[in-house]
Amino acid sequence: MRMCVMTKQWATFGLFAGIAIVMTAFGVSACSCGSVPDVSVALDEAQDVFAGRVVALELVAIHDVDPTSSFAPEHLKVTFAVHSIWKGEVEELTTVFTGFACCICGFPFEIGEHYLVYTHASTDELTYTSICSRTKLLDAASDDLGILGNLKPMAPTSHSSKEGD
């Protein structure tokens, strides 16, 4: 009897290990971005490119979701105190959205951290970013800043957040 239980445990372990190996071999993940564009392409494709410090995070429900769906994603509303701009018209305090639910490639922002942010507009007229963009911690953005540094950063405008707070 004891031998049968141990055999089942090893079989279960083997099954899960096999699944993990297959998923890794085929690159299965919850979010699939493809390749991240180089800096010049990302700059061309972005609506805004700026550096700033996260001053607020808020979970926001998505309103136009299929009511019959059991998947109810939320967005993370991220407010930045902007200090440098390379592209776009970005205000001193600006808001960007990123996915928060599983599988939609949201960026894991943290309050107080400084980021280089590449945004894009969406059909809902909000500004978004994700892990599929070149958005990253400012301390890890030396490659980007080396190229963006050739452009003169602009100062932010001093109005209320542009995303309709």
For the chain, what percentages of helix, strand and coil (3-state, to nearest 5) are there? Answer: 25, 30, 45
Which residue, among 57, 50, 67, has the nearest Cα to 148 in the 3D structure? 50
Beta bridge partners of 156: none
Give me 161's structure tokens.
């957040």
**Ramachandran region, residue 147 (left: φ > 0; alpha: ψ -120 to 50; beta: rest):** alpha
Q: What is the pLDDT of residues 103-118, one digit of tens each?
A: 678 889 999 999 999 9
Domains in the chain and their CATH numbers? 39-62+72-148 (2.40.50.120)
Say how far apart CA 143 and CA 45 lie, in whole Å. Answer: 18
Residues of the chain with pLDDT under 70: 1-30, 62-73, 102-103, 152, 159-165
**101 vs 65: CA distance, rounded Å:** 13
The predicted structure's pLDDT at residue 16:
44
* Reported pTM: 0.71
| pLDDT tens digits along 151-164 | 767 777 775 444 44
Closest CA to 78 of 102, 48, 103, 35: 48
